[in-house]
Structure 1
Amino acid sequence: MDFSFTEEQQGIRDAIFKVCARFGDSYWLEKDRHGGFPVELHQALATDGWLGIAMPEQYGGAGLGITEAAIMMQAIAESGAGMQGASAIHMNIFGLNPVVVFGNDEQKQRMLPPLIAGKEKSCFAVTEPNVGLDTTRLKTRAVRDGNSGYKVHGAKIWISTAQVAEKMLLLARTTPLEEVKKPTEGLSLFYTTIDRKTVEVREIEKMGRKAVDSNQVFFDGFHIPIEDRIGEEGKGFQYILHGMNPERILIASEAVGLGRAAIDRATQYAKDRVVFGRPIGQNQAIQHPLARCWMNLEAANLMVFKAASLYDRGLPCGIESNSAKYLAGEAGFEACETAIMTHGGMGYAKEFHVERYLREILIARIAPVSRELVLSHVAERQLGLPKSY
């Protein structure tokens, strides 16, 4: 057992910190205030070849694993970019894994290089307003339109970067639910160009991560060419599963990174802030919560990289990926909250940044799966308890 990074992996972490150093606190504060996709960071990472870190080399990627991708995403969040920076490229890392695994040669050659080069951005359209996490009950329909493709009608919600994306990975029902033997059947996966004439995108006002838009998306006769369907019709649910464990691992790595950024800021403030003639960091009431946060983050981080290692070796990792997401989300939240309390009243001020961290870390507690479903998953799959829902 070896819990240390290899020289190459440490080099990835160092290189990402170097790129992110160009985008300091003032950059992210401006994004948090006024929004706007962080094009500069996206292009800087594309220029240095990082957007394809886990994509095959033959299409322009680096051919590395989710372990290396997690190292990269964690460093982005830890640099102070937080979830704003990480979410800007999140889809590049895990989103097109179903295309890599199940797409044909023509599709991979057409779809992957532009994304890796940063010439195209993509969004991930699965969640729906009245369905939530019950993915098998999706109502958006894709109906065959002769031999040329499909016409799509329906709606999606919480679709990140849909304002700026040129492409969309879409899961839709091609066979009505009542006509399939199992609810997991009859869903199909597409990767296609967004036609703004038949796709309406409405941005959702939200509390954090303002640089990365979240949206409701409405489809009214949206045409998808047959060549943009990934794999076989009706097997999209099985395909989409290939992106779910990596997504949980990456979200978890980002949560640990953001938690570390919060603790670093709080620790420095505790050293600098003098009250009653002594730095507040000399007081155990300040020391102990920060120490506990550090330990919890490091423990969560071990589960993150255990899950990533299992995934990269082709071993089952559902329990570990979900556990990593849960543990990192909770540890990250505790760290960001503790950072604010360490700052006292100044923790409420935007200029100290920790209030932004607290708003952003909530993403890791909510998405891509709720804490409660993770607990149910572990209780049922690991402990063998009866299904509760």
Structure 2
Amino acid sequence: MDFGLSPEQSAIVDGVTATVRRFGDDYWRDCEAEARFPREFHRAMAEGGWLGITMPQEYGGAGLGVTEAALVMHSAARHGGGMGAASSLHINMFGPHPIVVHGTQEQKARFLPPLIAGTDQACFGFTEPNAGLDTTSITTFATKVPGGYRVNGRKIWTSTGQVANKIMLLTRTTKKEDARRSSDGITLFYTDLDRSRIEVQRIPKMGRAAVDSNMVFIDDLFVPEEDRIGEEGRGFSYVLDSLNPERVLVAAEGVAIGQDALERAARYAQDRTVFGRPIGQNQAIQHPLAECWAALESAWMMVMKAAWLYDNKRPCGAEANAAKLLGGRAGYEACLRAVMTHGGMGYAKEYVVERLLREVMITRIAPVSEQLILSFIAERVLGQPKSY
């Protein structure tokens, strides 16, 4: 069993790290303070070819797997950028997957190269205020009209909606009560974000101000039929294709942010002297930091296992969900411990760890709750009755 990276994977880590290190703590502090999308970082990553790591080579991508995407996102989030860096990128890693798998050749040629080049930016219109994680209960509706569809509805927590020019939009084309199954009658589109028909309202939130989250109001949006992905009514199954990769990537980001915070805490514990000795000489400081390291390493092993299973076309639902659970928790605990290790200065923006703590919370909440993960594992792995 080989736990090492291949030479090609090591080169990916080194290349992404070199790009990320061009953007220091002051850059990310300013993006946060100004609620400004990190365009310069996004452009540098696009120029490095990292946005197309999982895209087919014939459209300008690298044609690599979720393992390599996880390495990219882990490296991107680990060096001070946190979720600001990660969230500006990771929709490119898993978001276009339904296009890659279910799109026509014409759609792939039209949609993928601009995403890889970074000239198009996409957002996700999936979650709705009254549906949450119950995706089959969405009510945004696409009515068939000559040449396409007319869409009306609302979405929430749509990230990058302020800067995106494209939207991956999940709608109903058959009402839930009229569908044979609750997952039927859902249709997926990838289309222009027409701001004359789509109102995007920013949601103030506790962290990751550099990457916006939004309420989206869709009023009589026309979507051409050629922008529908796959067959009408089968969109729910298409979305499922990207769920496990998304969990793996979010887990990698949670681990990375925790490792960043832990490294900062360890340095502070070495440098900070109280009562004539470095605080890191005290076991009350040492032991919690050591426990964080062990938890982060364990979570990273599960991330890599889930990614390997996915790339080798093996079932990985339990492992991907477990990676997301463990990565989010380990990252959060490491960030919390980093703040506590810094004491009063952990509450100061100067030392970054307070921002990392606020941002790592996302990895525990999204894209699926810890409670649903545990219910999934209890049911699918341990054979317990379905509880919801």
**Alignment TM class, shorter chain as reference:** over 0.9
Give the match for residue 102 of structure 2. 102
Distance in 1 (alpha carbons) for counterparts of 2:215 and 2:114: 25
2:236 is the counterpart of 1:237: yes
Q: Which amino acid aligns with 1:375?
A: L
Q: CA deviation at 1:79?
A: 1.1
2:361 is the counterpart of 1:362: yes
C-alpha offsets along residues 8-48 of structure 1, whole Å, 9 cap, x if unaligned? 11111111110011100000011111111100011001111
Q: Which amino acid aligns with 2:363?
A: A
- Aligned length, in residue pairs: 388
C-alpha offsets along residues 222-251 of structure 1, whole Å, 9 cap, x if unaligned? 110000000000000000011111100000
Give the match for residue 320 of structure 2. 321
Please identify runs of 4+ aligned residues in structure 1 that moved more than 6 A: none
Identical positions, percent: 59
2:176 is the counterpart of 1:182: no
Give the match for residue 81 of structure 1. 81
The secondary structure found in structure 1 opposite 2:12 is: helix
2:254 is the counterpart of 1:255: yes
Distance in 2 (alpha carbons) for counterparts of 1:386 and 1:323: 19
Q: Which amino acid aligns with 1:132?
A: G
Give the match for residue 125 of structure 1. 125
Q: Which amino acid aligns with 1:206?
A: K
2:376 is the counterpart of 1:377: yes
Q: Which amino acid aligns with 1:306?
A: K
**After superposition, where does 1:262-273 map in structure 2 within 5 Å?**
262-273=261-272
Q: CA deviation at 1:255?
A: 0.4
**After superposition, where does 1:128-277 map in structure 2 within 5 Å?**
128-146=128-146, 148-277=147-276
C-alpha RMSD of matched pairs (Å): 0.5
Q: CA deviation at 1:124?
A: 0.9
C-alpha offsets along residues 117-160 of structure 1, whole Å, 9 cap, x if unaligned? 011100011000010000011110001012x1000010000000
Q: Which amino acid aligns with 1:261?
A: D
Distance in 2 (alpha carbons) for counterparts of 1:76 and 1:177: 40
C-alpha offsets along residues 153-172 of structure 1, whole Å, 9 cap, x if unaligned? 10000000001000011110
The secondary structure found in structure 1 opposite 2:154 is: strand
The secondary structure found in structure 2 opposite 1:150 is: strand
The secondary structure found in structure 1 opposite 2:170 is: strand
Distance in 2 (alpha carbons) for counterparts of 1:281 and 1:118: 44
Distance in 1 (alpha carbons) for counterparts of 2:229 and 2:48: 29
Q: Which amino acid aligns with 1:342?
A: T
Q: Which amino acid aligns with 2:375?
A: S
Taking structure 1 as the reference length, the TM-score comes to: 0.99
C-alpha offsets along residues 87-146 of structure 1, whole Å, 9 cap, x if unaligned? 001101100001000001000000000000011100011000010000011110001012
2:42 is the counterpart of 1:36: no
Give the match for residue 332 of structure 1. 331
Distance in 1 (alpha carbons) for counterparts of 2:315 and 2:104: 25
Q: Which amino acid aligns with 1:323?
A: A
Distance in 1 (alpha carbons) for counterparts of 2:143 and 2:313: 35
The secondary structure found in structure 2 opposite 1:387 is: coil
Distance in 2 (alpha carbons) for counterparts of 1:296 and 1:48: 32
Distance in 2 (alpha carbons) for counterparts of 1:383 and 1:159: 34
C-alpha offsets along residues 281-307 of structure 1, whole Å, 9 cap, x if unaligned? 000000000000000000000000100
Taking structure 2 as the reference length, the TM-score comes to: 0.99
Give the match for residue 16 of structure 1. 16
Q: CA deviation at 1:178?
A: 1.4
Distance in 2 (alpha carbons) for counterparts of 1:47 and 1:136: 38
Give the match for residue 59 of structure 2. 59
The secondary structure found in structure 2 opposite 1:80 is: coil
Distance in 2 (alpha carbons) for counterparts of 1:4 and 1:142: 48
Q: CA deviation at 1:365?
A: 0.4
Distance in 2 (alpha carbons) for counterparts of 1:356 and 1:59: 37
Q: CA deviation at 1:199?
A: 0.5
Distance in 1 (alpha carbons) for counterparts of 2:108 and 2:175: 29
Unmatched runs of 5 consecutive residues or more in structure 2 = none
The secondary structure found in structure 2 opposite 1:202 is: strand
C-alpha offsets along residues 151-198 of structure 1, whole Å, 9 cap, x if unaligned? 001000000000100001111000111111100000000000011111
Distance in 2 (alpha carbons) for counterparts of 1:62 and 1:244: 21
Q: Which amino acid aligns with 1:106?
A: E
